């Protein structure tokens, strides 16, 4: 490898490394996609997407108040992901 291209590569890697350092620990953006099987996948919540079919999301969202109440009532027992 020529010295000039090695220096360019080193500069690129340093910039990439600095970008990774500054984004570490920041909340990922939540995105939605339609899966191959026609379900809704939510990305950015964890390591793997959360995937449910339309009617499953609808049933879950209908219980939004119950879920929030449950979380509030059990906040002492629940952990947060840092």
The span from the CA of 3 to the CA of 27, in Å, is 38
The span from the CA of 59 to the CA of 61, in Å, is 6
pLDDT band at 68; cut points 50, 70, 90: very high
Which helix (H) or strand (E) is 6 found in, with range?
Answer: helix 3-23
Q: What is the pLDDT of residue 82?
A: 63
pLDDT band at 1; cut points 50, 70, 90: low
Query: Are 40 and 56 a contacting pair, CB within 8 Å?
Result: no
2-52 residue pLDDT tens: 777 888 889 999 988 888 777 655 567 999 999 999 999 999 988 899 999
């Amino acid at each position: 490898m020529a010295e000039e291209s090695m220096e360019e590569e080193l500069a690129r890697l340093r910039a990439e490394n600095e970008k990774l350092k500054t984004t570490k620990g920041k909340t990922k953006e939540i995105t939605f996609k339609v899966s191959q099987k026609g379900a809704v996948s939510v990305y950015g919540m964890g390591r793997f997407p959360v995937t449910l079919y339309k009617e499953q999301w609808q049933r879950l969202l209908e219980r939004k108040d119950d879920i929030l109440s449950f979380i509030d009532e059990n906040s002492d027992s629940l952990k947060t992901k840092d």
